[in-house]
Amino acid sequence: MRYAEFRDSIVEALRANPRGLNWKDLKAQAHLPYSRPCPEWTKRLERENGLLRQGGAGRAKLWRLDVPDSQ
């Protein structure tokens, strides 16, 4: 899987779930083959697509897109 495929899968899944998803749920919904997200790709998503990762339940981080409420 290339970065563009990873990015598109993540963005699509998070747009469908504006409240966010943890990695386990995101991985399942987007059919990602990785046990853990690539740190370089994750940082790139933060810069380019407004990805936010915030504390969730336990150690899990909640992934969501930083988009205005009007969208």
Q: pLDDT, tens digit, for every residue of 19-58?
A: 899 999 999 999 999 999 999 999 999 999 999 998 867 7
Q: Count structural domains, the chain.
A: 1
| CATH number of the domain that residue 43 is part of | 1.10.10
* pLDDT range class, residue 60, cuts 50, 70, 90: confident
- Domain encompassing residue 52: 3-65
- 51 and 63 Cβ atoms separated by less than 8 Å: yes
Asked if residue 24 belongs to a domain, the reply is yes
Task: Give CA–CA dist 41/58, Å, rounded.
Answer: 24
Residue 58 has what pLDDT?
74
Q: How many helices (H) and strands (E) does the chain have?
A: 3, 3
Residue 35 included in any domain: yes
Judge whether 70 lies within some domain.
Answer: no
